[in-house]
Structure 1
C-alpha cells in the first residue's frame, strides 16, 4: 500500500467516522482486511478495541461521546440510550452521579434494543431488549428514550429512595415530563424494581421536590401533628404573594422549611430564600427551618422542635394568611420558588 493510498484511506476513515468509533464490519466494508483491523488493535497499534466488534480509531482514552457511540453500535440499528445517561442529556441535573467502576472502567451506558435482537450486556454497556421500543428523541446526534421512559428505566435500578426522589422530582420541576407520564410509564413497564419509584412518585404528586423534603414529610408523620400541605403558595391578608412554603400547617399558619443548599444555585437564589423567610415572619407566620443533615442525624430533635413550634403557633391568634389570593375562590399556584 503506497503512502498516497494510505493517506487517502486515512482521510476516508476520518470523514466516515468523525467520532473515531466504528464496527469491525464497517471497516471491512470500507476495504480493510478483517485480520488487519484487529491487528491494528494490538498493543502499540494505532487503534483499540472498545467493545466486542467495536473499534476505537485512536490510541488515547475514549471520551464519553465515544463510549456512548460504541454502546449504540454494539446495540445495532434502532438502539437508543436510556437510563441516567439519557436523563442527563435531556437536562435533568439532580439524582445520582453516574459512577465509574472501581478499576476506572467507564460509567454504565444503558441502551434499549428491539426484543428480537440477540445482543448481550458487556463491559460498561447494559443492554435491555424490549417489546416497547419508543420513538427516539435525538439530541446532539444521539438517539434517546423519551424523558419519562429514561427516568423510570433509571429509577428501577436505583436502591436509594433519596436518589429516586431527586431524579423524578427534578424532571417534573424542570417541566421535562409530567407526573402523569411517569405514572403511565411505571404502569407499562415490568414491575421489577418499581416499588421505590411508585412510592416516590406518590410523594412527588403531593408536592415533594427533593430527598430532603421526602425525609421531612416522613418525620412530620412521626411527630403526629395535624395534617400539613407541601409546597403551597401563601398570601397575606391583602392578597400579596409571600412565597411557596415547603410545609404549611394551615390551622395555625405555621411554615416549616428544609434549607437545602441544592436550591441555592446562585447568590440571587440564596437571597430569595432569606427574603421569603423574612416575608413569612413579618406577615405573622410562625417559621422554623431545618438543615437536611439534621433530618438524618437527629430526627427526634427535629420532631421535638416541630412540636414546640406548633404549640407556639397555636398559642397566638392566627393571622389572616391564606393559600389563595383574596377573591380567587380557589388555591393559587403562585410563582415558582428558586
Structure 2
C-alpha cells in the first residue's frame, strides 16, 4: 500500500480505505463508510433511505451504518448504530453495498414523536414496492419498546384502513366547522342516469359540491384507485364540483383545504365570508393512539 501511495496510484479516503486514482467516477461515500466498518457494517437509516429512493428523507450529514452490538468499530465521520438483531431478511444489496431492507429502513427511521413523517415514509415505501404485509411483519417483530415501530405495525395492520378513514372524516369535519363552512352530509350515495356512482365523503347538496379525502396510499389497491378515477369522472360529467384532498393536505394544510372548499361553495352561490377563515386549525390526535 505504501508503495502504491508513494507512486501516486492510490489515495486514502478513510483509515484503512484506499482508492485507485485511475478508478472512474467519484468515490461512493456509502461504500467508503461500509468499508471503513468492514466486514460487519450495513448501510442503514437515512443513508439506506436515500439508496432505496425514499426522497423525502433528508440527505444525512454523515453516512449511517448499523453493526452488531458487540462490534467495536468506530470509524470517524460515520454514524454507527448498534443492533442486537440484524437478521439476513433485513439486509439487501444496492449494487455492491450491503444495505438494510426497505422494511427495516422504515422501521429504523420510525419516530413515535413524529407520526406523520412516519406515516409518509410507510406510504412512500409501499409506493416503491414494499409489501404492506412485509412491513407489518417486520415492524411487529421489531416493535418491542419502540413507539415509532409500533406505529408502523399498527398502521399496516389489516384493519387499519377503516380506522384511518374514520379518523380522516372526523378531522375534515373539524376543518370545515373551524372555517365557518356549512355542515355537509357525510357518506352520501350519488347517482346518475347509469345508476350509483358511489358514496362520497362530504356533500353540500344545495350547491352540488363534494369533498373527497384520499387516505394512505397503501390502504387502496390499484383496482380501487382506478375505480376512484372513474367515479371522479362520472361525478364531473353529472355536474358536481368535486374537491379532492390527500391525507397530507388535510393534516399539514387544513386551512388551504378549507379555503378550496369555500371557493367552490362561493362559486356555486353560497353566501360565505372568506374573512372567517382562521389562520390556524388545530387537529385531533393521530388515529392510532
TM-score range, shorter chain: 0.5 to 0.7
Contact in 2 for aligned 1:51/1:70 (Cα 8 Å): yes
**Equivalent residue for 2:95, pick from 140, 158, 161:** 140
TM superposition shift of 1:118: 0.8
Q: 1:293 to 1:137 in 2, by over 3 A?
A: closer
Structure 1 residue aligned with 2:284: none
Task: Give per-residue Cα distances to partners, 1:1-46, cap 9 Å, x unaligned.
Answer: xxxxxxxxxxxxxxxxxxxxxxxxxxxxxxx4xxx27x939xx955
Contact in 2 for aligned 1:149/1:182 (Cα 8 Å): no
* 2:13 is the alignment partner of 1:50: yes
Mapping 1:1-338, distance limit 5 Å: 32=1, 36=2, 40=5, 46-58=9-21, 63=26, 66-90=28-52, 92-99=53-60, 101=61, 108-120=62-74, 122-123=76-77, 125-135=78-88, 136-156=91-111, 163-178=117-132, 181-182=135-136, 184-185=138-139, 188-189=142-143, 191=145, 194=148, 198=151, 202=155, 205-206=160-161, 218-223=171-176, 238=194, 248-249=201-202, 254-256=210-212, 277-283=232-238, 285-289=240-244, 299-300=254-255, 302-303=257-258, 306=261
Contact in 2 for aligned 1:295/1:302 (Cα 8 Å): yes
TM superposition shift of 1:179: 5.7
Equivalences, count: 240
Show structure 2 runs of 5+ residues with no match: 178-182, 215-227, 271-289
What is the RMSD computed on CA atoms of the aligned residues?
5.3
TM superposition shift of 1:298: 7.2
Contact in 1 for aligned 2:185/2:202 (Cα 8 Å): yes
Q: 1:219 to 1:57 in 2, by over 3 A?
A: farther
Contact in 1 for aligned 2:201/2:211 (Cα 8 Å): yes
TM-score, L = length of structure 1: 0.50
Show structure 1 runs of 5+ residues with no match: 1-31, 102-107, 259-272, 316-338
Q: 1:130 to 1:86 in 2, by over 3 A?
A: same
Contact in 2 for aligned 1:94/1:166 (Cα 8 Å): no
Contact in 1 for aligned 2:37/2:75 (Cα 8 Å): no
TM superposition shift of 1:180: 6.0
Structure 1 CA distance for aligned equivalents of residues 73 and 56 of structure 2: 29
Task: Give per-residue Cα distances to partners, 1:234-261, cap 9 Å, x unaligned.
Answer: 997747988xx9x834897933368xxx
Contact in 2 for aligned 1:114/1:129 (Cα 8 Å): yes
